[in-house]
């Protein structure tokens, strides 16, 4: 049941998985075409689509490709309230159980090993797991991040409830001891973090990640560059797949040495830095402050001097940045937002900047909020919505399989005007 829930295509041969994904992307493109027609835009071009849809680009690695896994702590099928795994069931059905992920094919063995050791630790702890916040308990999520350089970071989330500083210090010391000298030493963690959190999700700014052991960062190599990764920084989940994706993005940008590349939602700067040698300048914008620190370090470490990175919400930073844009150099935008898509003010700023003639939108959920963005980019000027500027048009769609065994794809849509 767990494999079917988190990797629903796992029983299919890989070529069949790619065909299933192609069909789902085809439906998304058909929906976009219909929605554009509703806006009065003549979108019927090739084969009834608003733009050509290329075959799904396969992932170089099919099994164990995830470089980040998030494990929950809850009751298992056997009733053990300290099971570390992934959820099966629904809240509405009141049948949620936490199942060990040992058989799930997209999770690497190192992640499974750390999860098993964490379960062993909390099972010997006198403190309860925190299943419902108001019912007490302490032990919560485990995040494991790994890199091809052999680094492993574990982040343990802990609900402090009413524990004082001395009791918290004791738990942290026990964790450190377990993973450095105890049974957990087999995991060979290069970084062990602890976060006290009274919320479902908690940023570093809300409650700092506390380093209990090892180095503050892990490092990854991608397209000949070295990248530093903080606990909460975004990095594509499939590193080998990201290399293929970023190489394609570089080609689609058609950037020259005169081009300025605008990298919106840039994370640790991977896209901008990997393309920096092709362009005149890279400008990155990212909301996670620690990720921007990583991006700046990554640029300096790799000897890249033509990049600048801005920390803050894109909807606050970008309108100011583009409103006064007077640079004569061609400006290409690459956007790689979360599933929530781009804020309306970001789309408005992009539309209003006449220098942006080419835009690449990378979406992990194109049928969601990204669809709203596509329509906002392409619709005729609308004074009521303060959407000015010449509209964009989609000219090419390429799906990349960053998530084998799942139904998801990363869709790259190229817009021009």
The pLDDT tens digits of the residues spanning 13-70 come to 999 999 999 999 999 999 999 999 888 887 766 566 788 999 999 999 999 999 999 9
Q: Quick one: pLDDT band at residue 199, thresholds 50, 70, 90?
A: confident
Instruction: Point out the annotated binding site.
Output: 236, 286, 336
pTM, whole model, 2 decimals? 0.91
Residue pointed to by tokens 């608003």? 50
Reply yes or no on whether 364 is catalytic: yes
Domains and CATH numbers, the chain: 14-60+238-416 (3.40.50.150), 68-221 (2.40.50.1070)
CA gap 158, 413 in Å, rounded = 40
Active-site hit among 187, 265, 364, 409 = 364
- Residue 221 Cα to chain centre, angstroms: 17
Distances (CA, A) of 209 to 36, 185, 344: 45, 21, 31
Residue with tokens 């004791």: 170
Residue 404's pLDDT is 98
| Residue pointed to by tokens 């992932």 | 59
Residue 181, pLDDT > 60, answer yes
* pLDDT > 70 fraction of the chain, expressed in percent and rounded: 99
Binding residues for S-adenosyl-L-methionine: 236, 286, 336
Residue 245's CB: how many other CB atoms inside 10 A? Answer: 24
72-92 pLDDT, tens per residue? Answer: 999 999 999 999 999 998 777
What tens digit of pLDDT does each residue of 223-268 get? Answer: 999 999 999 888 899 999 999 999 999 999 998 899 999 999 998 8
- Per-residue pLDDT, 215: 97
Task: Using the Cα atoms of residue 131, residue 133, residue 139 and residue 140 in order, give the sign of their dihedral.
Answer: positive
């Amino acid at each position: 049941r767990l494999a079917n829930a988190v990797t629903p295509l796992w029983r299919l041969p890989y070529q069949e998985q790619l065909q299933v994904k192609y069909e789902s992307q085809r439906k998304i493109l058909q929906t976009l075409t219909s929605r554009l027609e509703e806006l009065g835009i003549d979108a019927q071009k090739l084969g009834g689509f608003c733009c050509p849809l290329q075959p799904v680009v396969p992932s170089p690695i099919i099994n164990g490709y995830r470089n980040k896994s998030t494990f929950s702590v809850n009751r298992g099928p056997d009733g053990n309230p300290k099971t570390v795994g992934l959820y099966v069931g629904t809240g509405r059905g009141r049948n949620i159980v936490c199942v060990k992920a040992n058989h799930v094919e997209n999770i690497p063995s190192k992640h499974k090993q750390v999860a098993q050791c964490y379960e062993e630790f909390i099972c010997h702890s006198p403190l309860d797991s925190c299943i419902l916040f108001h019912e007490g308990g302490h032990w919560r999520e485990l995040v494991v991040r790994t890199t091809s350089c052999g680094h492993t970071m574990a982040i343990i989330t802990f609900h402090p409830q009413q524990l004082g500083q001395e009791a918290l210090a004791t738990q942290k010391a026990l964790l450190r001891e377990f993973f450095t000298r105890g049974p957990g030493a087999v995991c060979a963690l290069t970084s062990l973090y602890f976060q006290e959190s009274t919320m479902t999700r908690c940023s570093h700014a809300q409650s700092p990640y506390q380093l209990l052991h090892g180095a503050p960062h892990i490092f990854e190599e991608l397209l000949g560059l070295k990248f530093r990764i903080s606990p909460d920084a975004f990095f594509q989940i499939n590193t080998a797949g990201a290399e293929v994706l970023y190489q394609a993005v570089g080609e689609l940008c058609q950037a020259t040495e005169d081009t300025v590349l605008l990298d919106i939602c840039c994370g640790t700067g991977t896209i901008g830095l990997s393309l920096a040698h092709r362009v005149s300048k890279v400008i990155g914008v990212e909301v996670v402050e620690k990720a921007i620190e990583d991006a700046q370090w990554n640029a300096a470490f790799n000897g890249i001097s033509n990049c600048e990175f801005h920390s803050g919400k894109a909807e606050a930073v970008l309108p100011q940045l583009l409103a006064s844009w007077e640079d004569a150099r061609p400006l290409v935008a690459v956007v790689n937002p979360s599933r929530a898509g781009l804020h309306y003010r970001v789309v408005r700023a992009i539309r209003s900047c006449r220098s942006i003639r080419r835009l690449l939108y990378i979406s992990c959920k194109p049928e969601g909020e990204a669809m709203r963005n596509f329509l906002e980019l392409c619709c005729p000027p609308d004074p009521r919505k303060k959407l000015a500027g010449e509209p964009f048009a989609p000219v090419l769609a390429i799906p990349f399989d960053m998530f084998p065994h799942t139904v998801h794809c990363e869709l790259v849509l190229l817009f021009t005007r």
